[in-house]
Chains A and B, each alone.
Chain A
Amino acid sequence: MTISELAGGPITAFILSLIVAGVLYAIGGSIGVKSKRSPSKCKPYACGQDVPAERTPVVIWLYKFATAFLVIDVVAYLFVLSMGAPFVSPVRELVIVYSVVTLIALITIVRR
Chain B
Amino acid sequence: MWFEYLVNIFTFPGFLFIILIAFIYEWVDRKLYAAFQNRVGPWVTGFSGFLQPIADFIKLLTKEDITPEGADTLIFRSIPVFSLAVALLCSLFLPISGIRGLVSFEGDLIVAIALMTLLSIMFFYAGLSSPSRFSIVGAERTMLQLLSYEIPLMLSMASVAVSTSSLSIMGVVEAQRNRWLIIGPNILSFIVFLLAAQAELERIPFDIPEAETEIVAGWLTEFSGRKLALLRLTKDVELFYLSGLSTALFLGGPLGPMVPGLEWLLHPVYFTIKSLVVLFLLSLMRSIFARLRIDEAVNFLWKYIIPLSVLQFLLVRVVA
- A residues with a Cβ closer than 8 A to B are 4, 7-10, 13-14, 16-18, 20-22, 24-25, 27-29, 31-35, 37, 41-46, 51, 53-56, 58, 62-63, 66-67, 70, 73-74, 77-78, 81
Residue of B whose beta carbon sits closest to that of A19 = B85
Instruction: Judge whether B70 and A44 touch: CB under 8 Å.
Output: yes
Instruction: Judge whether A42 and B84 touch: CB under 8 Å.
Output: no
Contact of B151 with A by CB under 8 A = yes
The secondary structure that dominates the B interface is helix
For residue A14, which residues in chain B have a CB less than 8 angstroms away from its CB? Answer: 85-86, 89
Contact of B269 with A by CB under 8 A = no
Instruction: Give chain B nearest CB distance to A92 CB in angstroms.
Output: 19
Contact of B256 with A by CB under 8 A = no
Instruction: Judge whether A45 and B221 touch: CB under 8 Å.
Output: yes
Total count of chain B residues near the partner, CB < 8 A: 63
Instruction: Judge whether A81 and B317 touch: CB under 8 Å.
Output: yes
Interface string of B1-34 (1 = CB under 8 A from A): 1100100011000010000000000000000000
Instruction: Give chain B nearest CB distance to A53 CB in angstroms.
Output: 3
- Bound complex: CA A54 to CA B86 (Å): 29
What are 20 A-B pairs at a CB distance below 8 A? A4-B2, A8-B105, A10-B103, A13-B103, A16-B9, A17-B85, A20-B88, A29-B65, A32-B61, A33-B62, A42-B67, A44-B70, A45-B134, A45-B216, A53-B70, A54-B131, A55-B130, A67-B147, A70-B147, A81-B314
Instruction: Judge whether A31 and B140 touch: CB under 8 Å.
Output: no
Known: A8-B104, A16-B9, A29-B226. A70 touches B150 (CB 8 A): yes
Instruction: Give chain B nearest CB distance to A33 CB in angstroms.
Output: 5
Instruction: Judge whether B64 and A21 touch: CB under 8 Å.
Output: no
Residues of B134-151 at the interface with A, using a CB-CB cut-off of 8 Å, are: 134, 136, 139-140, 143-144, 147, 150-151
Contact of B263 with A by CB under 8 A = no
For residue B108, which residues in chain A have a CB less than 8 angstroms away from its CB? Answer: 10
Known: A56-B133, A74-B154. A33 touches B64 (CB 8 A): yes
Query: How many cross-chain pairs have Cβ atoms below 8 Å apart between A and B?
Result: 147
Instruction: Judge whether B131 and A44 touch: CB under 8 Å.
Output: yes
Which of B60, B89, B129, B140 contacts A13, CB < 8 Å? B89
- Bound complex: CA A41 to CA B72 (Å): 17
Instruction: Judge whether B130 and A21 touch: CB under 8 Å.
Output: no
For residue B82, which residues in chain A have a CB less than 8 angstroms away from its CB? Answer: 18, 21
For residue A81, which residues in chain B have a CB less than 8 angstroms away from its CB? Answer: 313-314, 317
Which of B128, B140, B226 contacts A25, CB < 8 Å? B226
Instruction: Judge whether A10 and B111 touch: CB under 8 Å.
Output: yes
Instruction: Judge whether A32 and B85 touch: CB under 8 Å.
Output: no
For residue B273, which residues in chain A have a CB less than 8 angstroms away from its CB? Answer: none
Contact of B41 with A by CB under 8 A = no
Instruction: Judge whether A20 and B104 touch: CB under 8 Å.
Output: no
Instruction: Judge whether B65 and A22 touch: CB under 8 Å.
Output: no
Residue of A whose beta carbon sits closest to that of B139 = A58
Contact of B225 with A by CB under 8 A = yes
Known: A9-B103, A66-B147. A32 touches B80 (CB 8 A): no
Instruction: Judge whether B5 and A21 touch: CB under 8 Å.
Output: no
Known: A29-B226, A55-B72, A70-B150. A34 touches B64 (CB 8 A): yes
- Bound complex: CA A73 to CA B313 (Å): 14
For residue A70, which residues in chain B have a CB less than 8 angstroms away from its CB? Answer: 147, 150-151
Among A8, A51, A63, max chain B CB count under 10 A is at A8
- Bound complex: CA A58 to CA B9 (Å): 40
Contact of B132 with A by CB under 8 A = yes
Contact of B230 with A by CB under 8 A = yes
For residue A33, which residues in chain B have a CB less than 8 angstroms away from its CB? Answer: 62-64
For residue A29, which residues in chain B have a CB less than 8 angstroms away from its CB? Answer: 65, 226
- Bound complex: CA A73 to CA B68 (Å): 41
Instruction: Give chain A nearest CB distance to B238 CB in angstroms.
Output: 13
Instruction: Give chain A nearest CB distance to B226 CB in angstroms.
Output: 3
Which of A16, A18, A58 contacts B136, CB < 8 Å? A58
